[in-house]
Amino acid sequence: MYKSFQFSVFSFSVLETPMPNYDYEASDPARSCPTCLTGFERYQSLDAPRLTACPDCGAPIRKRLSLPAIGRSQASLDQRAKNAGFSKLKKISAGEYEKQY
């Protein structure tokens, strides 16, 4: 049901797969909602289209620079998951995942 992840070197289950994590923020703070004003993270497969509008308010957003998830160590991922109290990824469309708290 999940298409195979192209970085097959990672053998974790899909929930632990280091899905690339993209940070977005409002490109025009005057037209933002609380979601995009403070920025939000979105897990997307590498070939998924980048978001250009806030999913909540539709305001234009831009991608914030961040380290690619695939460059983070497993210890760091584990720590991040622990800090988040175990994050679940919900599949919201083909190749696109939303972080669930």
Using CB under 5 A, list all residues that contact Zn ion. Answer: 33, 35-36, 54, 56-57, 59
Cα dist. 55→39, 41, 61, 67, 71 in Å?
A: 12, 12, 10, 23, 27
CB of 91 to Zn ion, least distance (A): 22
Nearer to Zn ion, 17 or 59 (CB): 59
| Residue whose beta carbon is closest to Zn ion | 54
Nearer to Zn ion, 60 or 77 (CB): 60
Nearer to Zn ion, 16 or 25 (CB): 25
For residue 43, list its beta bridge partners: 21, 97
CB of 99 to Zn ion, least distance (A): 16
Nearer to Zn ion, 33 or 69 (CB): 33
Q: In whole angstroms, what is the distance from residue 88 CA to residue 78 CA? A: 13
CB of 36 to Zn ion, least distance (A): 3
On whether the CB atoms of residues 89 and 99 are closer than 8 A, the answer is: yes
CB of 38 to Zn ion, least distance (A): 10
Cα dist. 9→6, 12, 18, 55, 61 in Å?
A: 9, 9, 11, 32, 32
